[in-house]
Amino acid sequence: MQSRQWDIFCKVIDNHGDLGVCWRLACQLAALGERARLWVDDASALLWMAPEARTGRDGVEVIDWLDPAALQAAVAGPAPDVLIEAFGCEPAPELIARFAEGPGLAWINLEYLSAEPYVERLHGLPSPVFKGPGAGLTKRFFYPGFTPATGGLLREPHLMERRARFDRTQWLAAQQIPWQNHERLVSLFCYEPPALAALLARLAEGPEPTRLLVTAGRATRAVQACFASTPLPHGRGALSISYLPHLTQPDFDHLLWACDLNFVRGEDSLVRALWAGAPLVWQIYPQDDDAHHVKLNAWLDWLGAPPSLRLFHHAWNGFGDSALPAPETQGPWRETALDARTRLLAQDDLVTQLRKLIAQKS
């Protein structure tokens, strides 16, 4: 089969999540013999997230969305076979017009991830275009999700084999993390959660030693600000902290695989934590109208979260005024994570479903 040209458009809002998802998508398509151009308005995070993007990766080209010369060259060149608008962004009208002149196999609106019921209703539905350079064409909604009636989740073909071969002791030593094998490991990738101070106190006062691995950026700043404003009353007690540098996507996976409990945020890291199979806590992106409350509860329902895990998520995300429960790394939290992964592995991944959809249009 001849490879197709995919143009993926990403307007960065949260550069870890939006760009991370789009880069993974482009790379997975390229690994399957497709050609992908990733149009992005701010590719700076790729310098540490995917250093190979700077020197080039077979089958993937990163283009500065704001570069007039790149836009002109694309308009003058062959039209893409597939046009993907990630997370509701709008490509330049000139590029849409060029797409309309080509074979136009598929125009995909790749939506945000959610477990809410509307996802199953809307996934795959057509959206006719009535005006502009794409008038007369039809977009299709593609919703990632957690059930067979959705578009699934990004998952590389051999991810679970890599997971099984992972040696956490070796990886931690390579990262120069001074882990003692009696310590439980907890990763922290977050915004500024309302209950962060309570978590640090819980870990410091806990019955077992914990090493908290704090990711670079907002998580590090949030933890340091917490200690500066409200020092723990009895020092750090059972809590040790390692502040990490920015990690590449493979090493972020390794971090999640190494830990007994993972705190994640947004969309991309949530999916990677689900594949890790360890207990996880999700900080959902906050919205002014509290719509994220409904979104989080829908995901907890799908997850089958036990009461303690549901209560922890509510406190972590600032719902109500309940105290933060003690975090767990075994028992129901771990069983829930493993069950969720098993259910997801039984479903087709996102790229497989996306290519099937495109093939139907060929």
Q: Which residues are catalytic?
A: 18, 267
Helix-then-strand count for the chain, H and E:
16, 13
Backbone phi, then psi, for 135, in 5-degree steps?
-55, 135
In this structure, are residues 5 and 81 in contact, taking their beta carbons and an 8 Å threshold?
yes
In this structure, are residues 72 and 39 in contact, taking their beta carbons and an 8 Å threshold?
no
How far is the C-alpha of 46 from the C-alpha of 54, rounded, in Å?
Answer: 8
How far is the C-alpha of 97 from the C-alpha of 46, rounded, in Å?
Answer: 29
Q: Would you list the DSSP string of 220-269?
A: HHHHHHHHHHS--EEEETTEEEEE-----HHHHHHHHHH-SEEEEETTHH
